[in-house]
Amino acid sequence: MRRTACKRLAPALFSAAGGGALALLAASVFAAPEGPAASPSDRNGPGATTLACSTLGGEAPQTPVGWLTESLKASHCYRFQARAVAIDALNVRTLALSHRIQDGVRQQVIQHLDGPSVNVERHARAGLWGWPSAQPGQSESAAPMPRRWAEHVASVYDIALARDERVAGREAVRLTFTPQSGNRYRHQWWLDQQTGLLLKHVLRDDSDVILETFQITRLQTPTRYARDVSVTPPEQKAGPNWQVGWLPGGMVEQPNTLRNARANRTSRLYSDGLATVSVFVESPAAATLATGVHRLGASAIAVERHAGDHPWQVIAIGEVPPELLGRIARSVTRSDAPSPDAAGNP
């Protein structure tokens, strides 16, 4: 039963947890909504601005926020192929990565080189950020993306910058993200000095135990996209009829509400800029995980069930401490159901 439930949730886990390979391709653990190529009128519609890829690779940033900004720009402006290794408590995986940009569309492919053949491919418009246009109380004239995302990360984590690092034979800088509140994991990123691309990611718990490592072992010469990229604000969609009553500070809802009418499932995505949590509300499945919090490598899954005439369940998935994830799942309420105490202790 546990294996069946994990298999059913695997696509969501891959998306929610981000994972090292996905982090490399997106340069952050949140991802923009997948979508087809946009027409020129769509790419230059209301709110669109331009990212000049030709400006990358110039003078190196001097601050952590500057390097974060550069890394997100790089993920939308460079074509590359790479080999990588991902290590967690469950297994060691070798991966082939490909990132192409053609006519303003990013094609990201992850191929597992061990065991059964698994390929994950997604297409999205270059310049389509998976981050809100502005936070509540923040004017649209605030710092543009991707700097606004980098500044948000810096408001949640203390970031230390170290130079003179080396990964996969390439000069790199290291960013260490220490949570200011102490209730989430610590991240370390190694960024390529030449391009800003992510070369290595290490995730540690509050006892400094390594939970997950992702590392590029070979990065073929990246090539910069020759055109400018039109930066498009994410589409705002109407939310489902349920709410999350508690979130850790700095974690905000992303414009990625998903609906699956056939499975009677809706979801919301939350992120603090590095850590992400996906919350699903659905009808209980015949074979599923037991109520409570379950560890799956560096990720955790929290399951809460609600009985009644129309039973429903909550599944929360993310690379955050299990007790944090459990509290988020317990705080979910539906507009047509009685509200539990969302402020209870984890």
Question: 180 and 56 share a domain?
Answer: yes
Question: 106 and 191 share a domain?
Answer: yes
**Residue 163 within any structural domain of the chain:** yes
For the residues of 62-107, what is the DSSP string, one character each? Answer: -SHHHHHHHHHHHHTTEEEEEEEEEEESS-EEEEEEEEEEETTEEE
Comparing 68 with 8, which gets the higher pLDDT? 68
Mean per-residue pLDDT, 280-305: 86
**Per-residue pLDDT reduced to its tens digit, 205-261:** 989 999 999 999 999 989 998 887 777 666 666 678 899 999 999 999 887 667 665
**Residue 307 within any structural domain of the chain:** yes
For 98, the domain range is: 19-231
**Residue 12 within any structural domain of the chain:** no
Residues 6+ apart with CB under 8 A from 6: 13, 289, 296
The count of domains in the chain is: 2
Q: What's 186's DSSP letter?
A: E
**Residue 97 within any structural domain of the chain:** yes
**Per-residue pLDDT reduced to its tens digit, 146-179:** 788 899 999 999 999 999 999 999 999 999 999 9
SS3 (DSSP) at 323: helix
Question: 179 and 95 share a domain?
Answer: yes
- For the cut 50, the answer to whether the pLDDT of residue 2 exceeds it is no
In this structure, the number of other CB atoms found within 10 A of the CB of residue 279 comes to 26
Query: End of a domain among 176, 201, 231?
Result: 231
How far is Cα 215 from Cα 212, in angstroms, rounded to an integer?
A: 10
Residue 25 pLDDT grade (very low, low, confident, very high; cuts 50, 70, 90): very low
**Per-residue pLDDT reduced to its tens digit, 109-137:** 999 999 888 999 988 777 666 676 655 55
Question: 197 and 269 share a domain?
Answer: no
How far is Cα 339 from Cα 162, in angstroms, rounded to an integer?
A: 47
Query: End of a domain among 231, 252, 271?
Result: 231
Question: 181 and 330 share a domain?
Answer: no
| CATH number reported for the structural domain that contains residue 290 in this entry | 3.30.200.100
**Residue 222 within any structural domain of the chain:** yes
SS3 (DSSP) at 163: strand
Q: At 325, which helix (H) or strand (E)?
A: helix 322-330
pLDDT of residue 245: 95
Question: 183 and 273 share a domain?
Answer: no
SS3 (DSSP) at 288: coil
**Residue 9 within any structural domain of the chain:** no
Query: End of a domain among 197, 231, 265?
Result: 231
Cβ burial of 346 (10 Å; 0-12, 13-18, 19+) is middle
Helices 64-75 and 147-156: crossing angle in degrees, nearest 10, is 130
The answer to whether the CB of 248 falls within 8 A of the CB of 275 is no
Question: 89 and 139 share a domain?
Answer: yes
Question: 51 and 103 share a domain?
Answer: yes
Question: 224 and 128 share a domain?
Answer: yes
| CATH number reported for the structural domain that contains residue 100 in this entry | 2.50.20.10
Question: 199 and 323 share a domain?
Answer: no
Question: 173 and 268 share a domain?
Answer: no
pLDDT of residue 51: 77
Long-range pairs for 198-201: beta carbons < 8 A, 24 or more residues apart: 198/23, 198/24, 198/27, 198/71, 198/75, 199/24, 199/167, 199/168, 199/170, 199/172, 200/167, 200/172, 201/20, 201/23, 201/24
**Residue 246 within any structural domain of the chain:** yes
The answer to whether the CB of 262 falls within 8 A of the CB of 301 is no
